[in-house]
Amino acid sequence: MELVDFFEDCLRLPYKPNSQDNPEHEDQVEELLKKHGLNYVGQPNGIQQSPDFRIYCEGREIDVECKSSKKTFPMYNSGLPKRGVIYVFSSMEYNQTTIYFADDVVSDKKRELYEELTTEYKQILRKFQALDEWNDSRGFDFYMRAMYTQSGGSHKTDYFVHSEKKQCEQNVLNWCRTIGSSPNIDFNIDCSPNLLRFWN
pLDDT per residue as tens digits for the range 143-195: 988 999 999 999 999 999 999 999 999 999 999 999 865 444 444 444 433 33
What residue segments make up the domains of the chain, in order of their start?
A: 2-107+146-199
Rounded to whole angstroms, how far apart are CA atoms 54 and 41? 5
DSSP letter string over 129-175? HTSGGGS-TT---------B---S-HHHH-TTT-TTHHHHHHHHHHH
Fold of 2-107+146-199: Trna Endonuclease; Chain: A, domain 1 (3.40.1350)
Residues 6+ apart with CB under 8 A from 35: 6, 9
Residue 166's pLDDT is: 98
Pair type for strands 186-188 and 197-199: antiparallel
Give the residue with greater pLDDT, 184 vs 33: 33
Rounded to whole angstroms, how far apart are CA atoms 65 and 56? 15
Closest CA to 100 of 36, 160, 18, 142: 160
**Cis geometry, peptide bond prior to residue 51 (ω within 30 degrees of 0):** yes
Mean pLDDT score, 70-84: 94
The answer to whether the beta carbons of residues 153 and 161 sit under 8 Å apart is: no
Residue 64, phi-psi category: left (phi > 0), alpha (psi -120 to 50), beta (remainder) = beta
Q: CA angle 107-30-178, nearest 5°?
A: 50
For the full predicted model, state whether its pTM sits above 0.85: yes
